[in-house]
Chains A and B, each alone.
Chain A
Amino acid sequence: MSVSELTLLVLRLGFLLVLWLFIFGIVYALRSDLFGQRARKMQADAAAPVGAPAAFPSAVTLPPASSASAPTEQFTARPSPANAAADDKATSQNATRLVITSGSKAGTEFPLTGDSVTIGRSGDSSLVIRDDYTSTHHARLMLWHDKWMIQDLDSTNGTFLAGNRLTVPTPVPLNTTVKIGATSFELRR
């Protein structure tokens, strides 16, 4: 033996120590894992509106988007969908979120930013609706001259705005139901 017993003992203990350091390194890294943060954020988005769909929109989860004129106090004072002025078109100023009003995820909210929102069954849509009535690329919500417009992308079963099937890109009023397949949603403040 060219290596002394003592060296081997030290190496042996050192090896076990390094093995455990590796494990604790992983556990330490898991603590700040971004996976967890993201999941928490999703939960906060989804959980808040399910409990109280209209009363307390989750102001916390709203992005600090372009909605400078939509302070949080307005949410509680917001007129109910029924008596909302029908010609109050949704603009980038007054619409901050998309709320699913019927379907399996009713109550879920989706924050609106300046970006257009694609809706469809395909995985690359912003809002994915997986049911038998939705086309792969079904419709698109976009800002046109600062107004939210909805455009049907030649879908099979159509997109309905307040019960009427869309043929041309149409401005979306606030609090008005847009129906796609078994899911309907509204744009709200």
Chain B
Amino acid sequence: MPASSNRSTTTDAPERPLGTGRVRRLHLPQKLRNLELFLLLLACGINAATVVLVQLGALGRIDTTLVLLGAGLSVLVLALHVVLRVVAREADPFILPIATLLNGLGIAMIYRIDLANEEYGWASASVRQTAWSALAIGCAIAVILIIRNHRVLFRYTYVAGFVGVALLLLPLVPGLGREVSGARVWIGVGSFATFQPGEIAKIALAVFFAGYLVRNRDSLSMVGKKILWMRFPRLRDLGPILVVWALSMSVIIFQRDLGTALLYFGLFLVMLYLATGRLSWVLLGMSLFLGGALIASQTLDYVNGRFQNWLDALNPDVYGADGGSYQLVQGLFGLAKGGLIGTGLGQGRPEITPVPQSDYIIASLGEELGLAGIFAILALYLLLVARGFRIGFAGNDDFGKLLGVGLSFVIALQCFIVIGGVTRVIPLTGLTTPFLAAGGSSLIANWIIVAVLLRLSDTVRNQPRLVV
């Protein structure tokens, strides 16, 4: 353990009121980080086992070349762990192992689909996914090293808001934006390196919302007319919610991306509710979104088609139509084939569904791991999000609280939108499953979220005892 030698010298930096607190602090970090190391090794072991099982199931033998996939990820997360030992010794010990396991399961499943499609080397999505994971964990390490205290982000509230909106609108710039399967949410230079800036925008917007609401929540929550038992806000305080509403609606219209719009608007509503504690804002916002979505479903045939596929998926006309429910229904068939314990890794046929490695990775995993596996994955997400909420709950300053809960809610909402879409709970919209799905931008964004949550949890534990 590299950091254990200098631990005692770096602990007693500022003056703390409690002698007992300082003594406890000396013993805690090793415990937390050692717990993390144990869980991390377990997660890496499971990841390696997944790749091995995929090879046994699909090829019938163990191929050593791609065990490297698992090893690469393991080395990187262990590097992140070492960084945490040095600069964030009291960070939450569960977030990193959970993210590692999800990322590894995703890589193994993508590799499995590459095997079915007989893609190898750089053409295969799994190798690219590993490379993106390396980049993403590198970004996470950088974030942890650069942001030593999350309150720094509070200073850049409006910069973050501007960056978020700019990133969101970037795909609309002619020459830079790329349109992939109907949605114009990508940017690319030349024929390679496509990137989805909206994924990064969600972090910037979460920072902006948290900062904005901490500054303005009094005027948002205290004044306004009272109708029935609820206090409704004044028109001038209504401004921000209307701006965000208009923004997310324009995302639907110009980029044809219902999922992203839903994600941003949901994020804003939750943070607004968190900051003000007023149900009226949530009702107002939900009715605005539902109204907007309803109008969009009537007027835009892109949205209308999605609703059709959702409500009438098993109708042969809808199933066979161009852009119909073929993909959705294939995913459902896959899930049904999986049953309770799945067909076994490498033994199903998830490659029949279009894009089984990105949007439909949950259907692929469900087919091969079954209901038991899907529930395990959902439990991992649940634990991850619960840790984020816990960090927000334990925090003393309101900005950290809002940021922690906002960022973990983004992960939760994104899971709900994608997995709900695949399992036909809500209309399908194209978003990536966090950590699992093939896609670099999503990986980078989610690992940055992990880094921010780790940083938050460290500062929360290091906080002074009393803040007035």
Q: Which of B13-21, B120-128, B172-180, B301-309 contacts A (4 or more CB under 8 A)?
A: B13-21
Please pick, from B53, B97, B151, B370, the residue contacting A26 in the complex, using a CB distance under 8 A.
Answer: B97
Type the 1/0 row for B430-468, where 1 means its CB is closer than 8 Å to any CB of A: 000000000000000000000000000100010111111
Q: Are B394 and A35 in contact (CB under 8 A)?
A: yes
Smallest beta-carbon distance B97→chain A, Å:
7
Interface size on B, residues (CB 8 A): 55
Type the 1/0 row for B9-51, where 1 means its CB is closer than 8 Å to any CB of A: 0000111111110000000100110010001001100100110
**A11 to B49 CA separation, bound complex (whole angstroms):** 9
Q: Are A113 and B56 in contact (CB under 8 A)?
A: no
Q: Are A116 and B15 in contact (CB under 8 A)?
A: yes
Q: Are B20 and A12 in contact (CB under 8 A)?
A: no
Q: Are B466 and A110 in contact (CB under 8 A)?
A: yes
Please pick, from A3, A39, A127, the residue contacting B60 in the complex, using a CB distance under 8 A.
Answer: A3
Q: Are A128 and B60 in contact (CB under 8 A)?
A: no
**A38 to B372 CA separation, bound complex (whole angstroms):** 35
**A60 to B248 CA separation, bound complex (whole angstroms):** 52
**A110 to B98 CA separation, bound complex (whole angstroms):** 37
**A22 to B49 CA separation, bound complex (whole angstroms):** 13
Instruction: Decide yes or no whether B234 CB sits under 8 A from chain A.
Output: no
Smallest beta-carbon distance B337→chain A, Å:
14
**A170 to B93 CA separation, bound complex (whole angstroms):** 46
Instruction: Decide yes or no whether B390 CB sits under 8 A from chain A.
Output: yes
Q: Are B92 and A13 in contact (CB under 8 A)?
A: no
Q: Are B466 and A127 in contact (CB under 8 A)?
A: yes
SS of A interface (majority): mixed
Interface size on A, residues (CB 8 A): 52
Instruction: Decide yes or no whether B162 CB sits under 8 A from chain A.
Output: no
Smallest beta-carbon distance A189→chain B, Å:
17
Known: A15-B50, A26-B94, A35-B461. A128 touches B466 (CB 8 A): yes
CB contacts (< 8 Å) of A13 on chain B: these are: 341
Type the 1/0 row for A56-88, where 1 means its CB is closer than 8 Å to any CB of B: 000000010100000000000000000000000
Please pick, from B149, B344, B390, the residue contacting A12 in the complex, using a CB distance under 8 A.
Answer: B344
> Which residues of B pack against A, CB within 8 Å?
13-20, 28, 31-32, 35, 39, 42-43, 46, 49-50, 53, 56-57, 60-61, 92-94, 97-98, 101, 149, 151, 341-342, 344-345, 347, 369-370, 372-373, 376, 379-380, 383, 390, 393-394, 457, 461, 463-468
Q: A1-B60, A2-B60, A130-B467 are in contact. List 6 more A-B contacts (CB 8 A).
A: A3-B60, A12-B53, A20-B376, A34-B28, A108-B466, A113-B18
